[in-house]
Structure 1
Amino acid sequence: MLTQNTKIGFIGTGVMGKSMALNLLKAGYSVHVFNRTKEKAQELLNNGAVWKDSIKELSQEANVIISIVGYPKDVEEVYLGSGGIIENAKKGAYLIDMTTSKPSLAMQIFKKAKEKGLYSLDAPVSGGDIGAKNGTLAIMVGGEQEAFDTVFPIFEVMGSNIILQGKAGAGQHTKLSNQIAIASNMIGVCEAIAYAKKAGLDPVRVLDSITTGAAGSFSLSKLAPRMIEGDFAPGFYVKHFIKDMTIAIESAKELGLSTPGLELSLKLYQELAEKGEADSGTQALIKLFAATL
């Protein structure tokens, strides 16, 4: 059973991870952090987090290890690489990868963890920087019920919609479903704003009308205002969305599924990245449409 004295190791303190770890600190947990760039963890250290110089050192001390890094290759290195988590974690530790990654990799990590007497959950999130700050993320989990139940109080600090979707890999499959839904929706949001402007309307007033109707979505309510204001700071990076969509297309093909809307969105975001917007927020897609106004 986990308590407030449980040591939580947190790997990855970027846009999302920093806020998630900060909420764990505010909830009274002992949080030990590692990030490739120490400066990005400074706010957490100022709020009582303990810095660890390596994944190995962190893994040897923590009871629960949470990761949210960039790409599947990073997940593989963090968990399965030399000096990684599985090689060094204490027997009985709980491993929670909250990166959006490959379902097949989540299943591989689960298998390797089980062989070492470790509990593994894949638990990607949705809700962007706002959800991370407010502790209202949707958390989609794959793994065993017992492990899920044990770490549920930790999930509750970071999210408000927490569902065990099935066995290992199910969390990742659910997140890919989420990204597929967002992909086409973002095109629609951009086209709606472009149309409103072209028609001579005030897009802010248009949003007041359409966000509460059948068109309502997170992208329309939270990201469309940023588009209109010209605020392209990343709540979620363009480059990471491209990564997610690429994984989703690969997984869909493995399942024999056609995803034309997803493929169009990926093409547009790749064009956006080529224009120098890879480190912008996903709402920067409006720039491709604004050029035609």
Structure 2
Amino acid sequence: MSQEMNELSPESTRLGWIGTGVMGTSMCGHLMDAGYRMTVFNRTVEKAKPLVEKGATLADSVGALAANSDVVFTIVGFPSDVREVILGADGVLASAQSGAIIVDMTTSQPSLAKEIAAAAALKGVASIDAPVSGGDTGARNAALSIMVGGEAAAYQRVEPLLRLMGKTIVHQGPAGCGQHTKMVNQTLIASGMIAICEALLYAYRAGLDIPTVLKSVSSGAAGSWSLSNLAPRMLENDFDPGFFVEHFQKDMRIALEEASRMKLALPGLALASQLYQALAAQGHQRDGTQALILALASLNGFDWQQR
């Protein structure tokens, strides 16, 4: 596809999607619903099955997908996965055509986003970092917040595609700025999750009717997305992952590393990281982040699920 072609229309644009997990499947599905031809790849082939049944073509390698895609989206687990998928010997850049665009929606390192953008530019490929917030609910409802770093021209071309997946899409600046913004987001969530868990424990010990309490506090100054969406899951002992604990741990490590590099002390984030480390040590690394209530209840001497 020519770099001069501005409109990424369903009729003329081939999309590739790498990473069909909890969020990726829904996000990719929205693009397919808009009529785009889609090639998908996932290391665990079974996880790509719903999209293949929907009409996507299954690639047998990342390279094969990249060679046949004008825009490649990636949303994988860890920075090491991003590096392998995009910069590896059989990665996206090894096979991408000049004029292609890479959109990495993984929450990853700002420095890696800059490295990818530089390597992509040498091949005539554009790259933007576009991590998301909103969890499984936001992905299903195409209501994600998408934070974008990279060249403005590349962002403007893919913005219509991003709007099929999210409601709040903001270009934050050059490569890496999307990831930095996501670190701000995760820092806010981390301490907020501690507060939500502590508040629920307080309400429980005080003998209050917790659903009634939530009605009172969720629409006031204490309201937040996490309070409205995750506190009810905690009450129902629903710890299915909208976002894995182990992925949140990764995000907090990145944020703390960046803070250290910038000579910032973030004690609230450090505490949250330690509490989630305890939660993972108890075997909950593949549960949703709302499972933090289990670790804090245990700290207070009781089993939340048996309350």
Q: Given residue 99 of structure 1, which amino acid in structure 2 is its aligned partner?
A: T
For residue 56 of structure 1, report the CA deviation from its aligned partner. 0.4
For residue 27 of structure 1, report the CA deviation from its aligned partner. 1.2
> Which of 125, 132, 139 pairs up with 1:132?
139
1:92 maps to 99
> Which of 202, 217, 221 pairs up with 1:210?
217
1:22 maps to 29
> Which of 231, 242, 253 pairs up with 2:260?
253
2:163 maps to 156
Q: Distance in 2 between matches of 1:130 and 1:152?
A: 21
1:3 maps to 9
Q: Distance in 2 between matches of 1:209 and 1:145?
A: 43
Q: Given residue 94 of structure 2, which amino acid in structure 1 is its aligned partner?
A: E
CA RMSD in angstroms, aligned pairs only:
0.7
Q: Given residue 37 of structure 2, which amino acid in structure 1 is its aligned partner?
A: S
User: Which TM-score applies when normalising by structure 2?
Assistant: 0.95
For residue 290 of structure 1, report the CA deviation from its aligned partner. 2.5
Q: Distance in 2 between matches of 1:24 and 1:153?
A: 10
Are 1:235 and 2:270 matched, yes or no?
Answer: no
User: Which TM-score applies when normalising by structure 1?
Assistant: 0.99
| Seq. identity, % | 54
Q: Given residue 3 of structure 1, which amino acid in structure 2 is its aligned partner?
A: S
Q: Given residue 39 of structure 2, which amino acid in structure 1 is its aligned partner?
A: H
State how 1:10-89 maps to structure 2 within 5 Å.
Answer: 10-89=17-96
**Structure 2 unaligned residues grouped into runs of 5+:** 1-5, 303-307
2:201 maps to 194
Greater than 3 Å deviation, 4+ residue runs:
none
For residue 191 of structure 1, report the CA deviation from its aligned partner. 0.3
For residue 28 of structure 1, report the CA deviation from its aligned partner. 1.0
How many residues get paired?
293
For residue 65 of structure 1, report the CA deviation from its aligned partner. 0.2
**Structure 1 unaligned residues grouped into runs of 5+:** none
